Each structure stands twice: as C-alpha cells, then as structure tokens.
Chains A and B, each alone.
Chain A
C-alpha cells in the first residue's frame, strides 16, 4: 500500500478559524469510531427537530479548529429515506445552522466498490471534500494493495489512508481536511454508469475489481454460515442474548444494591439530623428518593449500551438483525426491533433509547409504542408478591405463572405492533438492506464513549423529569396533613406502659403504620384514590389497593412499597413475612384484602399496563410529541384494564364453580 505524500502540516489560515466538517459514509465504515477518535469527550448529542434521526457534534481535539457533525450512515445520498435526505440536505447547505465548510467521506478500504459509488455521489455536489480510507490495516491483512495517490487523482480530492481504531493516519487526515477542495475530476452521473466508473477506479488503484472480490474473509464466511443460518443462527442469537442479559442482571445487581443503600442511608441521615418539618421530609422523601429513582437505572443502562456497543463493533449485531428480520417482519417490525424489545426486559428506558438503531420512522414508532409491554425488572417484585399470594404453596405452578407473565407481555407487544402497523403506522416493512461487515475485535474506547453518551443523555432527558415527578408526588401525598387517628394515639399510650422492649417496638410500629395510612387517606393523593376507586372496583380493588395502583403509575415497583405501608410493616421486613402480612390484611368491611380473583386480575393488569412515568417522559422526548406517549398510555392501560376485568370475572366464576 502506498500512502499519499500530499499530507503536510495544517494550513495556517484554516487553523485560525472554526471549520464545520460533515462526516458522512456508508453504515459500518467506522464513522463513529473516527468521530470519537477526533472529538473524544468534547462531543454533544444533537438532533434535527422534526426528524427521528440524530447526530453528534464535537470539536476536534487534534489541532485545527474544527467542528465535526457526525451524520447518520446511509448507503446512498439519493435514496428517499430520512437519513439519506438529512445527509443530502446538510451537504447541499439546505439545513439551518448546519452548512459544512467541508465534507469528510469515510470509505471502508475492504469494500471499496460500493463505497466509491457513495463517494462519487458526495463529490458530485461540489462541496470541498476529503476522503478517509478507513480500515487500511484490515485491508492489508486481507491482501489488498491500494494506491492512495492514484485514487486521489481519480476522485479529484485528498485521500488519506487511516485506521480509526488504531489511530493511524489521523493527524494526516486532520491536516488534509484544511486542504479539502471541490473535485475537478470527471465523475459519473447517477445510475448504472456509477458502477462502471467504480470498477474503472478500482482497476487503476487496487489492481482490478477481482482483487477486491478475491480478498474475501474466510473466517467471516465460515462464521456467517452458522450465524446467519435460519435455525442455527436463531439458536446462536438466543444464546448470545441470554448471555447478554444474564451478564447485565448479574453485574448490575451489586451497583444497584449499593446505590439503593447509599440513598437509603442519605435519606435516614437527613431525617435524623435535620429538624423535623416539611423541608427535611421533602429532602428525604422527595428529592433524595427522586434522585435515587433516576440513578438506580444507570447500572443497567450503562451495561446494556456498553455490551451492545461491543457486540455491534464485532459485527455480530448486524447478523442478529438479519436473523430476526424474518420473524419480526410478520408483525410489521424490522429485525432491528428485536434488540430494543429484548433490552426492554431489563428496563423500557434503554430499550426505547436503543430504537435509534431503526432507520424507518413508522417502524421505530411502532417499536417504541410496544416496548413497555415487555416485562421489565421493575415488575418482578410485583409479580413475586401477587404470584406468591396466588400459588405460594405450589412452586412449580408459581414458576409457570412467572414465565406466563413474560410470555403474555411479549404476545401483547407483537399483536399491538401488528395492529399499529395496520392502522396508525401503516407501511410495509421495508426489505432490510444490510451489509454484513467483517468480524473484528471490538473497540473498548468506542464502547466507553457510547456508554457515556447514552448515560448523560438519560440523566439529562429522563432524569430531570423523574426527579420533578417525585417531588410533585411527595407534595400530593404529604398535604393536607390530617391529625393522627385516635386509635394510633391509644396504641402509643399502650406502648408506653409496656415493659417488654420488643412488644413496645411492635406496638409503636403498628401505631406509625396506622398514622401513615390515615394521613395517606386524607392527603390529595389519597382523596384522588378514593375518587378513582370505582374505576378499579371491577378488578376487585378497594380503596387501599386503588391508592397502591395509583401510586404505581409513577413507577410499578412503588406498588410493593405502598402495600407494605398499607398493611403496616416496616420496609426492611423479609419477603415471607410481607406475604403473610398482605395475605392477612383486611378491607374496611373486614373481608380479605386479596382474594384469588383480585390477585389474578391485578397480575394481568401489571403485566399489560403502562405504569412508568419516566417511560412516558422518555417517549415524549424521543418522539418529540405528546401524541405518542398519550396514545401509548391509553392503549396499554385500557387494554390492561379490559384484560384484568375479564380475568377477575373468569377466576371468580371458576372459584364459584
């Protein structure tokens, strides 16, 4: 391989002013790796209002005052697709605040024929252009020999051989960007001539198209025989994804417990050391609990994006999308939907953020709409409680019921996607055009930047809303403040007379719980609960269960905490005692709080209902409209209510029979 000698020091004039450079290329050419190499931490996620495509903007950290706009990857500028339209508009200077001074085209040196056709379509637009010939190290390993000077002569612009992964040639590339010029070369028009032109360029600079064709990667071919096989590919996919999620659950467990413990301790310290009053309660129960509710999601989100980025970088994720495309297409979803839907089993928030992989707007929206049907980890404590109430004595049946909840959620998601694609989000699933990149070692650096980027985005977008909602909910639950009920005062007086310390503590705990219940009933949240109770009566819910359901619309896991408060137990109690307490709890009329029909109906409701305000907030942010989150909330909760009412009626009829 000969490297162009036309790569001198940066031009002095260009170094003095900030140049905006648009980074474009086919998907999987290493554009993001190059962007991260050029900009590092100085990158910010940007978006184009009104479109579902986003970009990243960063200042170049390698000398030369440059602002790099990382545009989405596209196979051609002339396609009628959002990402192609966006790149076209940006290069042609039709976007507000995004007219580039130069275009940096990233080409995959191991796949030059199609990449050259893309370069030609950029050069035709007459903008000063520099070509980065990426993955030259991989090309050399494949036995390719590229004459960079000849290639530059044919394209009529500087060409720099680089390896974004190792950093080779990056300084020369930065220098060359200052010298980018509009191509004066003879370029083909759109159409069949482009292919013939690319073949001719290859003939001159690579030694013929056959040389590229012969340089196939035997390892990639052998692995693809297994990974893209209709059956074996599916088995490999299930194994890889099971491993991915097992790793996320396993690794996230410790930091999540740690975060929970730290914030729990912070709340206790505030309660103990600040004078009692509204402000200390707001700090402990509103602000600290709210921040904890945001940060607790971070380990799962970071791990998910880190591992997905590694998988994507190896080239496997493209194969996984290809394998799943056949199945997902039957429900109107593309293969790329599978990873977001699977991610939603950990938490819907990273799942919804992962839908950015889906280029088609309607397919992406359909995936966002159904993702919260997948049973997330926040539902698990509720499943454990309700299944424990139903089948506590039969572990095998309880296990089947647990798996059934996951299956019910997945079926509801796929059927809802089918309905959405046939009604409000019409359009055939476009055939997935996907180039399977060569397998390679993943870049730890890229994975870390992607993780950091997503984590910051989550904290900024969803975090602020979660915190704000927690503060509002605290206020609604805290006011107006009623007096302690006489029964609680009587219990406290009785406790004061008891000599045995354990018995006294038990009485005081009972009095505290009684007071909390009474205060909750008198608060705005409690009054709203009482007013809404008739809506949940067909599910068998009384006033107390209705309050627990209402608070769980904030976040599902709140249901368990509310039930613990309602039945009067300290939150540190172990699971078996909580279950016994809930089972023994009674309604205002003395009947058991949960019978089988109510527990089964609530279980179905929690599988299907949209009870996560952070998800509502994120869907609003991702779709840029309130229409979609409101529709999602109405559809999921309405569907859940109907299914729960039917379940209640069926179980009741079966019990009576």
Chain B
C-alpha cells in the first residue's frame, strides 16, 4: 500500500466517506437501537426530505 503517498490518503478518505454513505442506512438503525432500546413505536408523520414537515 502506498502509505507515503498523500494522494492515497485523500482517495482512501473519500472512499471511506462513500462506504459510510452506503452503509449508513444499515448502521444508523442498529446504533439507534443500541442507544434507545428496542421496540420503540414511531408515530406516523409527514416528512419532507427526511425532516418533519413543520421544522423545515
């Protein structure tokens, strides 16, 4: 691995961010479940681009 090449580290950082974007939908619910416990009932509301409609 070209660990002395600064370009390698920039490219790897970008790839890591991309990997996080791909894995985030799986990771986020798992992390949330761990913090807040299982079985939380979510009320149905209206969201626009993932945010509640009245908080835009």
Please give the residue numbers on chain A whose beta carbons come within 8 Å of chain B beta carbons, in ascending order: 44-51, 55, 57, 69, 89-90, 95-98, 277-279, 281-282, 286, 464-465, 467-469, 471-472, 474-475, 478-481, 617, 620, 626
Contact = CB atoms under 8 A, between A and B. Distances in A.
Contacts of A96: 43-46, 52
Nearest to A276: B7
Interface residues of B, number: 28
B4 interface: no
Given A465-B21, A468-B22, A472-B19, A48 B12 contact: no
Contacts of A55: 46
8 contacts: A46-B47, A48-B46, A49-B42, A57-B46, A69-B53, A469-B22, A620-B25, A626-B25
B7 A277 contact: yes
A44 B49 contact: yes
Among B12, B52, B53: residue with most chain A CB under 10 A: B53
Contacts of B7: 277-279
Nearest to A277: B7
Summarize B's interface: helix, strand, loop or mixed: helix
A278 B15 CA distance: 12
Contacts of A279: 7, 10-11
A51 B1 CA distance: 47
Nearest to B29: A626
Given A50-B42, A50-B44, A282 B22 contact: no
B14 A282 contact: yes
A278 B11 contact: yes
B53 A46 contact: yes
Contacts of A469: 18, 22
Nearest to B2: A481
B18 A95 contact: no
Given A47-B47, A49-B44, A471-B15, 15 more contacts: A44-B49, A46-B47, A46-B53, A51-B44, A96-B52, A97-B46, A97-B47, A97-B52, A97-B53, A469-B22, A471-B14, A475-B12, A475-B15, A479-B1, A626-B26
Nearest to B19: A472
Contacts of A69: 46, 53
Contact of A468 (B11, B21, B55): B21
A98 B14 contact: no
- Candidate in A89, A96, A469, A626 with the most chain B CB atoms within 10 angstroms: A96
B11 A472 contact: no
B45 A95 contact: yes
A97 B45 contact: yes
Nearest to A44: B48
Contacts of B46: 46-48, 55, 57, 69, 90, 95-98
